[in-house]
Chains A and B, each alone.
Chain A
Amino acid sequence: MIMDTPIQIEERLWDYIDGLSSPAEQSAIEALLAENLEWQRKYKELLNIHQEMQETELDAPSMRFSKNVMEEIARLQVAPATKTYINKNVIRSIGAFFLAMIAGFLVYCLGQFKWSASGSSSTFLPRYDLDLDTKMRAFNWGKIFSSGYTTVFMLVLVILALVMLDMYLQRKKHQTT
């Protein structure tokens, strides 16, 4: 029979004291407590600590505590429940947008691999297009960022940001009045 280490004895006894042991384990511990002095000593020790902790009183704040809280909340109102002003459809749409972006990026990346198996080898590993780096370097990025489309896109973003800022400030104003 394998002997329990002191830590294991403590763990089993804590479970027993907390009432978390299975019925079989409870019977086994009760048998050990009936005949084993070491277990009896440990049980008494843990039980005393357990009772002390149960009887320990909570710390109390100052006498004025609840009055202070009530004075503080007197000028406040309960905020509406989060679910009433968070539109789940908006969250779903944002999630769908990011998922679509990730999926598009993955499809683009996978499209850069050449999926042909080389020779008679049975291994089927994608071959990275080594020429891609050269192509990327040769690509004229300046052309994209100076095009009319990008300017329009940036303008739309700025307008959207301003509209959202305006909405936020309006809501703040309503809350304070």
Chain B
Amino acid sequence: MLHTGLTDIELISKVLQGEQALFAQLVERYQNYVFTLVLRFTDSREDAEEISQDIFVKAYRSLADFRGESKFSTWLYTIVRTSCITFLRKKRLDITSLDNERTFLQLENQESGFKANTIEQKSRHAMVNKAIRLLSPDDAQLITLFYKGEQSLEEIGRVMGLEPNTVKVKLHRARHRLKEKMEKYFSHEVREIQGE
């Protein structure tokens, strides 16, 4: 694949002019970002790949609606979110709250699974990723958007329909819960990180 070094806006403009093949560059640029965000909603890589593919197809179909007022990644996230919610609705899972008994039970099961396999978790990065997956989808997405999507609090607020200050509070809480999960399930690795 020839990487032309074009910006997102330039690529989109060319795709809209009929150069469909250039869309592959946008896919390659954002496939990991989209795939990771989708994995925050589902544990199955197969499902995540199918949803991610569907997200890029939707993005292509509605590319003319991208007005360039926000980053392409921000606009793409709105499609990620709606697609994931639709997917979860189909699976009859309530993603809105950790209070939901089924979600909580699912997480508890995941947690016990991770605890049993702590020996395999050598990599610190893998540990952080696994700890993020123990969070609720909303917390996990928020952390991923902030750290990996390079989205500001304002941008996250715009796509989530929240005030930047509310996003900030939610981010604090998400990180606090992440820290708790890390301390609870990966205490050995956490001590390594802390250099103790």
Cβ of B124: which chain A residues have Cβ within 8 Å of it? 52
Q: Place the interface of chain B in its size category.
A: 35 or more
Q: Tell whether, in the assembled complex, residue B148 and residue A80 are in contact, meaning their CB atoms are under 8 Å apart.
A: no
A150 at the binding interface (Cβ < 8 Å)? no
A136 at the binding interface (Cβ < 8 Å)? no
Q: Tell whether, in the assembled complex, residue A53 and residue B63 are in contact, meaning their CB atoms are under 8 Å apart.
A: no
Across the A-B interface, how many residue pairs have beta carbons closer than 8 Å?
A: 111
A80's contact among B27, B33, B64, B195, by CB below 8 Å, is which? B64
Please give the number of chain A residues whose Cβ is less than 8 angstroms from any Cβ of chain B in the complex. Answer: 36
Q: Tell whether, in the assembled complex, residue B129 and residue A56 are in contact, meaning their CB atoms are under 8 Å apart.
A: yes
Distance between Cα atoms of A68 and B50 in the complex (Å): 10
Distance between Cα atoms of A11 and B174 in the complex (Å): 11
Which residue in chain B gives the minimum CB-CB distance to A80? B64
The stretch among A70-78, A106-114, A158-166 that forms the contact with chain B is: A70-78
B52 at the binding interface (Cβ < 8 Å)? yes
Contact (A79, B61) CB under 8 Å given A49-B175, A61-B32, A70-B24: yes
Q: Tell whether, in the assembled complex, residue B63 and residue A78 are in contact, meaning their CB atoms are under 8 Å apart.
A: yes
Q: Tell whether, in the assembled complex, residue B62 and residue A79 are in contact, meaning their CB atoms are under 8 Å apart.
A: yes
Interface string of B29-62 (1 = CB under 8 A from A): 0011101100100000100110011001100111
Distance between Cα atoms of A61 and B47 in the complex (Å): 11
| A residues 38-93 touching B (CB-CB < 8 Å) | 44-46, 48-49, 52-62, 65-66, 68-70, 72-74, 76, 78-82
B148's contact among A49, A58, A65, by CB below 8 Å, is which? A58
B178's contact among A48, A49, A57, A79, by CB below 8 Å, is which? A49
Q: Tell whether, in the assembled complex, residue B176 and residue A81 are in contact, meaning their CB atoms are under 8 Å apart.
A: no
Cβ of B27: which chain A residues have Cβ within 8 Å of it? 65-66, 69-70
Q: Tell whether, in the assembled complex, residue A52 and residue B64 are in contact, meaning their CB atoms are under 8 Å apart.
A: no
| B residues 76-112 touching A (CB-CB < 8 Å) | none
Shortest Cβ gap from A11 to chain B (Å): 5
Cβ of B57: which chain A residues have Cβ within 8 Å of it? 69, 72-73, 76
| A residues 11-56 touching B (CB-CB < 8 Å) | 11, 14-15, 20, 44-46, 48-49, 52-56
A-B contact pairs, 12 of them (CB 8 A): A20-B168, A52-B128, A53-B147, A59-B39, A59-B129, A60-B32, A61-B52, A65-B31, A65-B52, A69-B27, A73-B61, A78-B63
Chain A residues packing against B (C-beta within 8 Å)? 7, 10-11, 14-15, 20, 44-46, 48-49, 52-62, 65-66, 68-70, 72-74, 76, 78-82
